[in-house]
Every structure is written in structure tokens, then in C-alpha cells.
Amino acid sequence: MKRFGWAAVLLLLISGCESTHEHLLALGYPPAFADGFDDGCISGRQAAGSISGEFRKNVPRYLKDPQYAEGWSDGFRQCQAMLENQDRTDYRDRHWDERERAWQQEKDQGAARAYRSQ
């Protein structure tokens, strides 16, 4: 299975009405892959700290069905990374913006002092 812009696919799905499972099927992925992706995605979000969802993995199917296993692994990695990236972005937005504003204010005050002394 070729991997392509999963982040783009997931972002589109978040904004649309079509489920991830339906979207993957529409793209031509086999049902087993789509099933695994759904289970892996829910598990990946839970592993990244989401309070909603649960770890979901059909272990017998994972061990016997390579398409389900690949879908599960892809879904787990993509959704875990997406949630962790969102957490980092939220943290940066909350904390770095404060530092950026403080730095800008300090810089402006320094420039004002320099211009006044001339």
C-alpha cells in the first residue's frame, strides 16, 4: 500500500461528513485496511493522551490479516502523531506567544530609549 499525505486526508475528514473508513474505501483501499486504520487511529489517539476513545486492536485479525495489520499500524502512527503535534502547537501558542510579546516589548522599549538619547 502506498502511503500518501495522510495528514491531508485526516484534515479533510475532520472537516467533512464522510468517515475515515468510507473515505479510505472510496480511495480504493481494501475493507480490511480501512478497518485496521480505524482501530489503529482510535488507539493512537488514546496512546497520545486523548481522554476519549480506547485502545482497540483485533489481535487475532492483526496476526492473520496483513492488510488489517498495515492499516492498524498506519492509523496508529498517523493519529498519534497528529494529536501529539496538536498538543505541541497548543503549548507553543499559549506559552511562546507570551515570550514573543515580552521580547517585542523589550525591543521596542530599547529602541525608544535609543531614539530619545539622540
- pLDDT for the residue 10: 53
For the chain, how many residues are written? 118
pLDDT classification of 87: cutoffs 50, 70, 90: low
- pLDDT for the residue 70: 96
Cα distance between residue 19 and residue 9, in whole Å: 11
Place of cell 476519549: 52
pLDDT classification of 100: cutoffs 50, 70, 90: confident
Cα distance between residue 70 and residue 61, in whole Å: 11
- The pLDDT of residue 3 is above 50: no
CB 34 within 8 A of CB 2: no
- pLDDT for the residue 28: 94
C-alpha triplet 77, 83, 84: angle, nearest 5°: 85
Cα distance between residue 68 and residue 66, in whole Å: 5
Please give the single-letter amino acid code of residue 12.
Answer: L
Cα distance between residue 102 and residue 98, in whole Å: 6
- The separation between the first and the last C-alpha atoms of the chain, rounded to the nearest angstrom, is 67
Domain ranges within the chain, ordered by starting residue: 19-116
For 31-81, the pLDDT digits (tens) are 999 999 999 988 888 887 766 668 889 999 999 999 999 999 999 999 888
- The pLDDT of residue 24 is above 80: yes
- pLDDT for the residue 40: 92
CB 20 within 8 A of CB 41: yes
Mean pLDDT of the chain: 79
